[in-house]
Amino acid sequence: MEVTGMEVLEHTAARTVISMPIDGNRQSAGILHGGASAALAETAASFAAQIHARETNPGKQAYAVGTELNASHIAAGRSGIVTATATAVHLGRSSTVHTVEIRDEANHLVSVARVTNRILVRSAHA
C-alpha cells in the first residue's frame, strides 16, 4: 500500500473505500497500470474480508486470504486519483465475495472486479 500510495477512506466488512494516485502507478503507455488497478481492488476487498473474519470469530485469530480475483478494465485512468469501493455480495462463515468498482475523480468507471476471500482461523497449536 505504501509503494502504490493507497489510502483507506472507509473500512467496514460491507463496504471499504480506498484511493490511490495514478502517478507512480502508470504503465509504459502513460496510463494507469492494470496490475495496479487489480492490486487496489484486491486490497479493498481483502480489508473488508479481514474485518468480517474478526467480527465473525471473536476471540480467535481469524484472517482472510484471497482466492480469486477477476478484473475488467473499462477505461484508461489518465491523471489524478482513482477510488475503489468494495461492496459485499456474500459475507459467509468461510468465505466472502466483494464487487469492486474503481472510479476516477470525474466518477467515470475505470475497472470493475470481483474478489473472493477465504476465512481461516489459526488453531491454538499453530
Which positions are catalytic? Answer: 42
Residue 85 CB coordination number (10 Å): 19
Residue 79 CB coordination number (10 Å): 14
The SS3 call for residue 96 is strand
Asked if 81 and 105 touch (Cβ cutoff 8 Å), the reply is yes
